């Protein structure tokens, strides 16, 4: 089963400052087609609230913290991201939203496809219907 999960990244500790990195197919189970980031989020705002039909993604809190709330059609789970040396892998067909952003937080999202509005499911009831029938 292809489940959403936290993936720890390499962490090179150094007195001069730490270093982490991501190599696609080595640390995350897909090839990166697109990188985007969410920043300057006003307090209390929510991003996301949709699912992708085919897109797989990996989310890292490069700075600050936020929560990722996932729904698999049956139950909800919450992941708090607050370090830059791990991230959350989210395969296709999870409802996902990002919330509780701290001041100056920076969310980096790696995706395995180019932006395609047609891949989005933006209606939660429709998402649950597809999961129930799927």
Residues acting as catalytic residues: 50
How many residues sit in the footprint of ligand TYD (CB under 6 A)? 6
Residues 93-122 that bind ligand TYD (CB under 6 A): 115
Instruction: Decide: 131 and 56 in contact? Cβ < 8 Å.
Output: no
Provide, rounded to whole angstroms, the least separation between the CB of residue 122 and ligand TYD. Answer: 8
Q: Which residue lies nearer to ligand TYD by CB, 39 or 115?
A: 115
Q: Is 50 in the site for ligand TYD (CB under 6 A)?
A: yes
Burial of 36 (0-12, 13-18, 19+ CB in 10 A): exposed
Q: Give the containing element (helix H, strand E) for 131.
A: helix 124-133
Question: Is residue 21 part of the contact set for ligand TYD (CB under 6 A)?
Answer: no
CA-derived radius of gyration, the chain: 15
Return the SS3 of 124: helix
Q: Indicate whether 92 belongs to the interface with ligand TYD (CB under 6 A).
A: no
Helix, strand, coil percent values for the chain (each to nearest 5): 10, 45, 45
Cβ proximity to ligand TYD: between 28 and 108 the closer is 108
CB of 50 to ligand TYD, least distance (A): 5
Q: Write out the residues near ligand TYD by the rule CB under 6 A.
A: 34, 36, 47-48, 50, 115
């Amino acid at each position: 089963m292809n489940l959403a999960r936290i993936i720890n990244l390499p962490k090179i500790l150094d007195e001069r400052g730490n270093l982490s990195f991501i190599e696609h197919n080595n640390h995350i189970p897909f090839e990166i087609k697109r990188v985007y980031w969410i920043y300057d989020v006003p307090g209390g705002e929510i991003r996301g609230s949709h699912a992708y039909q085919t897109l797989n993604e990996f989310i890292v809190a490069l700075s600050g913290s936020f929560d990722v709330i996932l729904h698999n059609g049956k139950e909800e789970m919450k992941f708090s991201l607050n370090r830059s040396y791990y991230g959350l892998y989210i395969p296709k067909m999870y409802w996902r939203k990002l919330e509780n952003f701290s001041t100056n937080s920076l969310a980096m999202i790696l995706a395995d496809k180019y932006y395609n509005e047609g891949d989005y499911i933006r209606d939660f009831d429709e998402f649950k219907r597809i999961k129930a029938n799927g």
